[in-house]
Amino acid sequence: MKNKLTHIALLLFITTVTACNVAKDNVKPEAPLPAKFRNDNSTTSAAPLTADTNADTNNVSGDSGIASISWKNFFRDPVLQQLIDSAILKNYDMQLAIKNIETAHLLLKQSRWGYVPDLSLQVSGASNRPSDNSLNGLSASQFLKTTHIEDFSAGVSLSWEADIWGKIKNRKAAALAGYLQSEEVKKAVQTNLVASVSQAYYNLLMLDEQLLIAQKNIRLSDSTLRIMKFQYNAGQVTALAVQQAEAQQNTATALVPQLEKDIVLQENALRVLSAELPGEVHRESTLSQSSLTDSLTTGIPSQMVSRRPDVKRQELELRIANAEVGISRANMYPALRITASGGLNSFKASNWFNIPASLFGAVAGNVVQPLLQKKQLKTDFEIAKIRREQSVIEFRQSVLYAVGEVSDALVRIEKLQTEQNIVKNRVVLLQSATSNARQLFSSGMANYLEVITAQSNVLQSELELAALTRQQLGAKVDLYRSLGGGW
């Protein structure tokens, strides 16, 4: 007897060790990262980014770049802050993300009940009349002295499966990762929402600036046209000069309704982002007054890229896939199930609650080993492993895309600044040239084509400068978003 107990204990020990191996089949892939982002002039170093399936994905330390700055500190314009606040509070995508979090939280709480046995209560009553020539009929008439068989029962039943292979543990791990994943989706929605609102707001300020430029050019062209008409009446210029001046004025005038249309469309888009009806958007500052911090430090790539909600979401997807591998493998091993039931049972209603005579109870345990299920369990296991490998690939892909977006934003900021400085100098020169051309034309030392050409050039250059200023702001917003800032 003692030897049998020893063998059973040894078998249980081996089973426990094997179960631990099944439950802890973790994967920690590495994603290649540069020492620093391309076009990043700061001096930072990096370590490989690892997707640890057991790590706390909400713990990001060592942040030193702009992504660690709150969006309220990154965007200082009070009107823009109000727009972003409204969008975060009311946007329907944000509301759906919050509902998904609530759903995932309920599933997480449900998974914690996995170790609790199933318990049910059943109350039943039955009455039947068997044939007099049947075995049941003969037995009833002989022993019960009746032609009717009745059965009344009330009891509870319990069923419990031992988590030998870590199946329940892996289900809890998958539910936790799903909940954390829903949190990351919400962060991703907010990050994109902050970027979209700010981009739309800066685009609106650009359109305001371009509208002012067009209106100023109309006034300038109107002044030039009056001078030419005066000289035409004096016989100093031909009708062609007047027609050219009118055409130049029409070019600037045609911009006004186009820009006004774009302004209304942009205002409507901004309001819709905040889940509000289309309408006017109040603004106090101008494009030239808008600025973002010049200290655009990116931080260490391994830390800053890990802030991105999409990368963290993919890391959690890998954790879920790993748990699914454990579950599918556990399904291939024996399952130990224990059942118990007890209650009251009687063939007469009057004796139903006659205690202890009507008491009954039963306990059973069984081990079920799947043998042949058309290779379904084996196929499920192999598919789970493939999906885990896919999650590793998708994780590495998300990191690569993140690094690419940061590098793209950095080069846009750098080159747009250079281009903006060149165009700014050109605008100053053309504004001076336009003033000189008008003065020379008034004194008869320049012809009308020089005046019209100067006005046309300054109009296009000023419009281009406004667009470049907006693109520069947009590139900084893209850098902030691509580094995972905004949530």
**Confidence label for 204 from pLDDT (cuts 50, 70 and 90):** very high
Q: Is residue 59 part of a domain?
A: yes
Q: Is residue 148 part of a domain?
A: yes
| pLDDT at position 209 | 92
My answer on whether 16 and 37 are in the same domain is yes
| pLDDT at position 136 | 65
My answer on whether 381 and 355 are in the same domain is no
Split into its structural domains, the chain has a count of 2
| pLDDT at position 93 | 87
- Supply the CATH number for residue 255's domain: 1.20.1600.10
d(CA 180, CA 53): 12
- What's the farthest any 2 CA atoms get from each other in the chain? 139
My answer on whether 45 and 151 are in the same domain is no
Give the pLDDT mean for 21-37: 65
- SS3 string of the chain? CHHHHHHHHHHHHHHHHHHHHHHCCCCCCEECCCCCCCCCCCCCCCCCEECCCCCCCCCCCCCCCHHHCCHHHHCCCHHHHHHHHHHHHHCHHHHHHHHHHHHHHHHHHHHCCCCCCEEEEEEEEEEECCCCCCHHHHHHHHHHCCCCEEEEEEEEEEEEECCCCCHHHHHHHHHHHHHHHHHHHHHHHHHHHHHHHHHHHHHHHHHHHHHHHHHHHHHHHHHHHHHHHHHHHCCCCCHHHHHHHHHHHHHHHHHHHHHHHHHHHHHHHHHHHCCCCCCCCCCCCCCCCCCCCCCCCCCCHHHHHCCCHHHHHHHHHHHHHHHHHHHHHHCCCCEEEEEEEEEEEECCHHHCCCCCCCEEEEEEEEEECCCCCCCHHHHHHHHHHHHHHHHHHHHHHHHHHHHHHHHHHHHHHHHHHHHHHHHHHHHHHHHHHHHHHHHHHHCCCCCHHHHHHHHHHHHHHHHHHHHHHHHHHHHHHHHHHHCCCCC
Q: Is residue 465 part of a domain?
A: yes
Predicted confidence (pLDDT) per residue in 172-203, tens digit: 888 898 889 899 999 999 999 999 999 999 99
Predicted confidence (pLDDT) per residue in 120-165, tens digit: 888 887 777 777 666 666 666 666 666 666 778 888 888 888 888 8
d(CA 7, CA 175): 37
Q: Which structural domain range is residue 354 located in?
A: 116-162+335-368
My answer on whether 122 and 99 are in the same domain is no
Give the pLDDT mean for 239-247: 77
Predicted confidence (pLDDT) per residue in 327-359, tens digit: 889 888 888 888 888 888 887 777 777 788 788
| pLDDT at position 43 | 46
- Looking at every residue in the chain, the average pLDDT score rounds to 80
My answer on whether 473 and 360 are in the same domain is no
Does the model's pTM come out above 0.75?
Answer: yes
My answer on whether 103 and 201 are in the same domain is yes
Q: Is residue 447 part of a domain?
A: yes
My answer on whether 64 and 157 are in the same domain is no
My answer on whether 204 and 76 are in the same domain is yes
CA distances from 166 to 25, 69, 179, 258, 380 (A): 11, 41, 20, 65, 17
Give the pLDDT mean for 58-71: 64
My answer on whether 183 and 79 are in the same domain is yes
d(CA 115, CA 171): 11
My answer on whether 143 and 255 are in the same domain is no
Six-digit token pair at 216? 């100023």
Six-digit token pair at 322? 């790993």
Q: Is the pLDDT of residue 59 over 50?
A: no
Q: Is residue 194 part of a domain?
A: yes
My answer on whether 362 and 424 are in the same domain is no
My answer on whether 212 and 85 are in the same domain is yes
Edge-to-edge strand list for the sheet holding 359-368: 118-128, 149-161, 335-346, 359-368
Q: Is residue 291 part of a domain?
A: yes
Q: Is residue 487 part of a domain?
A: no
More confident residue, 195 or 250: 195
The percent of residues in the chain predicted with pLDDT above 70, rounded, is 83
Predicted confidence (pLDDT) per residue in 397-439, tens digit: 988 898 899 989 999 998 999 999 999 998 888 888 877 777 7
Give the pLDDT mean for 19-31: 57
Q: Is residue 341 part of a domain?
A: yes
More confident residue, 261 or 51: 261
| pLDDT at position 250 | 82
- Supply the CATH number for residue 340's domain: 2.20.200.10
| pLDDT at position 232 | 72
| pLDDT at position 471 | 93
Give the pLDDT mean for 379-402: 90
Six-digit token pair at 287? 């494009």
**Confidence label for 49 from pLDDT (cuts 50, 70 and 90):** very low
Give the pLDDT mean for 43-56: 43
| pLDDT at position 134 | 67
**Confidence label for 87 from pLDDT (cuts 50, 70 and 90):** very high
